[in-house]
Structure formats: C-alpha cells, structure tokens
Amino acid sequence: MTALYIERYLNWGLTREELQSGRPLIGIAQTGSDLSPCNRIHVELASRVRDGIRDAGGVPFEFPCHPIQETGRRPTAALDRNLSYLSLVEVLHGYPLDGVVLTTGCDKTTPALLMAAATADLPAIVLSGGPMLDGWRLLSSGEIGYSEFMDRVCASAPSPGQCSRTGTASEERAGLSCAAVPAPYRERAQYAYRTGQRAVGLVHEDLRPSAILTRPAFLNAIRASETSPEAIARHAQAELHDLPLLVNVIPSGQFLCESFYRAGGVPAAPLTVTGRSVAENDVIRTAAAPLRARAGFRARVGNLFDSALLKTREGVLEARAIVFEGPEDYHGRINDPELADCILFIRYVGPVGYPGSAEVVNMQPPDALISRGVDHLPYHVLESTSESPSILNASPEAAVGGALAILRTGDTVRLDVAAGSLDVVRCADGGEITPAVLEARWAEHVPPPLPSQTPWQEIYRATVGQLETGGCLELATRYKRV
Ligand code: FES
C-alpha cells in the first residue's frame, strides 16, 4: 500500500506494520443492512469473516454495497442489480484491495456481486447468508380473517435468511460458495470464518474469477436450479445450454431449502449427475429420473418475439389471449370471470418497460383458483420473470418494438412447446393473422408513455439489454480485468 493511502487508513487504528508487512488486504463487500433483511445476517457473520481473514494473515476491510431487497424495492429490484454491480466494480478497481469476500443472499445481490467480481477479476469468494428455516406456505383454500392471514405471513418467514425456495438466492454460486446451509445453523458462522481464511489463500494463489467462473461451473449451478445465471455468465464470458432439473424444491417442486440441505444440499445434487445416489429421498433426483427433463429452455421462433425461456411442460395449446398492460392492470382485472381458459400476456414489464423487469412472483392467482388450492398463476407469457409454469423473458419486449405490443385481447395464440414456438394465429373475429394485418396494427400502434422517475432509471433504460442476454448494461460486458 502506498504512503498516500496509509495516512487515512491508519486513522481508524490500523498500525503501520499491518499495512506495510505485505499482508493481503481483503475487502468484505457488505450487503446486509436494515434495508436488506434477507442479507442482514451478514452484519453478524462479518465478524467471523474478519476472524478468518486475520487468522490467515490478512487485513479485513469491510465496506457497504448498495442495498437490494427483492420484495421491498419499487419499481423493481432488478434496477438495483446493475447499479450495485457498477458501484462494486468501481470499489474493486479503485481501492487497494488484494481480494474480496462477497456477501450474498437476496436474489439480485448474488448476480450483482458476482458480475462485479467477474469484471474486476480480483480474487473473490462468495459467502451466502443462507436460506431461512422452512416455514409455512401462505395459501388457504378457504376464507380466513386478517388476523389469521397475518399469522400465516409471519409463519412463512420463521428465521433470518433468504427465501427458502430455489431462486437466484439459494443457488450454488458456480463453485464460489455453499449456499444451502440455513442461515441460523451454526455451520453458517463456521463457513463465514473459513470463507475469510480462504479469501487470503486465494490471494496468495492468485486464483481469480476468470479461473473459476468457467462454463462447467455454470452448468453445475444450473443443474441445481431452474434459474439461469445468464448475466453472470455473460460477464464471465461463459456459454450455457439446456440441462435437466434435479432439485425438487419450490417453485418447481414440493420442498423448501432446509429440507434440501438435510437431504445433502448442493454438494449432493451434482453427484447424482454421475449416477451415484447420495440419499434415498425425493428432494434430490438423479439424472436418470430428473424432476424435469429440461429445467427451462430457450425458444427462438414465433411471430410475437424472437426469444423466450419456456418454463413449461411439453405440449400443443391453442387458446384465447388476454393482454395486460403491466402488473397494475393485472391486479385490477385478474378476477374477471371472462379470463377463464385463456393464456395471459403481461407486457411492458421487461427491462425497459417497467423498468428493470417486474417480478411476477408477487402476483397472486385469481381468487377462484386460490379457493381451489391452486397457488400459481394461470398460463402466462411475459417479458420478465415468474415462478409459475410460464413463458418468460420474451425478447424483444414491447417497449423496444417487440410484436407483443400489437397483440390484442381475443386473438388466438398457438403454443407448440416441442417446436419451441408461440404465434398469434387468428384475430378475435376469427380472421387469419397475415403480414398485412400485422402491418396495419403497427400503423395504428401508439406506444404508451414510459416516464422515468429517477436519473438512474433513465440511464438504465438507455443502456440495458434484453433478458435474452441477461439484462446487462451492454457497454459493461466489454470490460474485463479492469
Ligand atoms: Fe430476499 Fe427472497 S425476497 S431472498
């Protein structure tokens, strides 16, 4: 560390010997705060990380990251992913750190920090905060009062930690972390200590993300979850493809994360790919009998969009389209009895449209379905993400000129999952959809105003790519090893 830096770092109590003895300076990228409850456990875990760094001969430097909280951030937490990414790249590039511990948890914190580590290519290790203990699910097939509703809400989050279902938060981080141990377990604090120790080792070995975030590492991560870490892979310049889904955890399966951990956790899941059965249980399937043959795959044909992620079962379906102009429109009309036996399309919810891309996880099914015990949305197509069987990440989105903009309620759409296609085939009056009809609709189309509410929203909209390629800031993907 140069003399210029030393003066200010001495003033909080570090000694000259600590800074001049060649000991690695290890950053702790702190994502926990009162605003980020899913990651708040890191505020406590950081002391064990510091202990590990110290005992291994390093000097810890904890610093805050831009907070991200999936369910509390409006309009979308996805906006913060790229903002947190940008700010962490600047910290890792601009400050004299030799390595970094990335504290992850709530969905967008994980890709944000991993993307930054991939860009800066500084020795880095992930410490996940871990999922909360298994709670109770919220839905009721009968009427409940407000008091019981609140009891169920509280019971669904019984401890510190992340959501206890698979998603970005609870995936294994492509070889950089062990994410399955629940947050309150003592093993989590022990992991924190060892993570700090290992961070120092990574610096001595000069082991950088470019050597770890490889294509095989991403494939292992995808095997454990149906969420594609597409944005991280893009910043690490690794290519991905379709894989079977082995983990029987909500939203695709039946169990929660604590059960997954007890069944062997992430270390068990990749082993089953080789045909070795780790545990006799239903939580982790073998590659020969996966939960789903394909965890989700991209389709690239159709007259409504060029690309989408099909998270759905094989089949052919022809149905009436109901079009919603975003989540607010959905909430306002979802209990309309006219919406039975149709496919729901939710547009203007993509990276530019919402902006950031709206999470449909928080949208509830029609009351009629809930009262029958159904806890997922009817079949739907959208430009953002969802946990229910659906067609996701439709690109290009309507806000940037995608043809979803000219789909009309009452049109008939035809889905052929095996062929990977979704097309609008007939108008509401039964007339055929022809190029001339589409052209006439474009001529009549008036794009809705999409005002930005903050400067960052405007910058984000001007620079973000489509979800087909990870919703990255396109210019940022050109940078590596800054
Ligand atoms: Fe934070 Fe789910 S809302 S992990």
Q: What is the ipTM of this complex?
A: 0.98
Q: In this predicted model, what pLDDT tens digit does every residue of 107-140 receive, in sequence order?
A: 899 999 999 999 999 999 999 999 999 876 665 5
Residue of 317 and 370 predicted with greater confidence: 317
Q: Is the pLDDT of residue 339 over 90?
A: no
Q: Is the CB–ligand 1 distance for residue 70 below 6 Å? A: yes
Encode pLDDT of 220-236 as tens digits.
666 555 444 677 777 77
Give distance in angstroms: CA of 403 to centre of ligand 1: 32
CB 127 within 8 Å of CB 52: no
In whole angstroms, how far apart are CA 280 and each of 225, 263, 265, 293? 20, 9, 13, 20
Beta bridge partners of 146: none
- 15 token code pair: 């000694």
What global pTM score does this model have? 0.83
**What amino acid is encoded at 480 in this protein?**
K
Average pLDDT, integer, range 158-181: 66
Q: Is 391 in the pocket of ligand 1 (CB under 6 A)?
A: no
Instruction: Evaluate whether 302 touches 423 at the Cβ level (below 8 Å).
Output: yes
C-beta of 132 in contact with ligand 1 (< 6 A): no
**pLDDT score for 264:** 62
DSSP structural state of residue 327? H
CB 130 within 8 A of CB 181: yes
User: Ligand 1 center to residue 390 CA distance, Å?
Assistant: 21
Q: Which amino acid residue places its CA nearest to atom 2 of ligand 1?
A: 163
Is 457 near ligand 1, meaning CB less than 6 Å away?
Answer: no
The region of weakest confidence among 32-36, 300-304, 349-353, 398-402 is: 300-304
- 172 within ligand 1 shell (Cβ under 6 A): no
Residue 401: pLDDT band with limits 50, 70, 90: very high
Which of 68, 81, 106 most suits a substitution to test ligand 1, by most atoms within 8 Å of the C-beta? 106
CA 472 / ligand 1 centre spacing (Å): 21
The per-residue pLDDT for 130 is 92
- CA 296, CA 293: separation in Å to the nearest integer? 9
Q: Does the CB atom of residue 38 touch ligand 1 within 6 A? A: yes
What pLDDT, on the 0 to 100 scale, is given for residue 227?
47
Q: Whose CA is nearest to atom 3 of ligand 1?
A: 70
Query: How far away, in angstroms, is 320 Cα from ligand 1 center?
Result: 34
**Contact 359 CB / ligand 1 (< 6 Å):** no
Q: How far is CA 430 from CA 257, 404, 425, in A?
A: 48, 19, 9
* Residue 475 pLDDT exceeds 80: yes
Give, in degrees to the nearest 5, the angle at Cα 368 between 362 and 373.
70
CA of 183 to the centre of ligand 1 (A): 13
Query: What is the secondary structure of 276-332 as a DSSP string?
Result: ----SSSSB--TTS-SBSSS-EEE-B-SS-SEEEEES-S-EEEEEEEEESSHHHHHH
Nearest to 186 by CA among 285, 65, 44, 294: 44
The average confidence (pLDDT) of the chain is 83
Q: Is 68 in the pocket of ligand 1 (CB under 6 A)?
A: no
Check if 307 has its Cβ closer than 6 Å to any atom of ligand 1. Answer: no
What is the total residue count of the chain?
482
Beta carbons within 8 Å of 434's beta carbon, 6+ residues apart: none
Kindly give the distance from the C-alpha atom of residue 105 to the centroid of ligand 1, in angstroms, as a whole number.
Answer: 7
Query: Confidence band (pLDDT; 50, 70, 90) for 172?
Result: very low
Coil, helix or strand for 50? Answer: helix
Cis peptide leading into 451, omega within 30 of 0? Answer: no
- Is 309 near ligand 1, meaning CB less than 6 Å away? no
CA distance 239 to 234: 8
- CA 412 / ligand 1 centre spacing (Å): 36
| Best of 38, 40, 81, 128 for a ligand 1 pocket test (most atoms within 8 Å of beta carbon) | 38
Q: Is 250 in the pocket of ligand 1 (CB under 6 A)?
A: no
Confidence of residue 193 (pLDDT cuts 50, 70, 90): very high
Pocket test for ligand 1, best of 41, 133, 162 (most atoms within 8 A of CB): 162
More confident residue, 16 or 121: 121
Q: How many CB atoms lie within 10 A of CB 416?
A: 17
Is 183 a pocket residue for ligand 1 (Cβ < 6 Å)? no
Q: pLDDT tens-digit profile of 256-309?
A: 666 766 666 655 555 443 444 444 556 667 667 776 665 556 666 789 999 888
Q: 174: left (phi > 0), else alpha (psi -120 to 50), else beta? A: left
- From 41, 84, 107, give the residue whose CB has the most ligand 1 atoms within 8 Å, as the site to mutate: 107
Residue 444 CA to ligand 1 center (angstroms) comes to: 41
Taking the centre of ligand 1 as the mean of its atom positions, its distance from the CA of residue 426, in whole angstroms, is 40
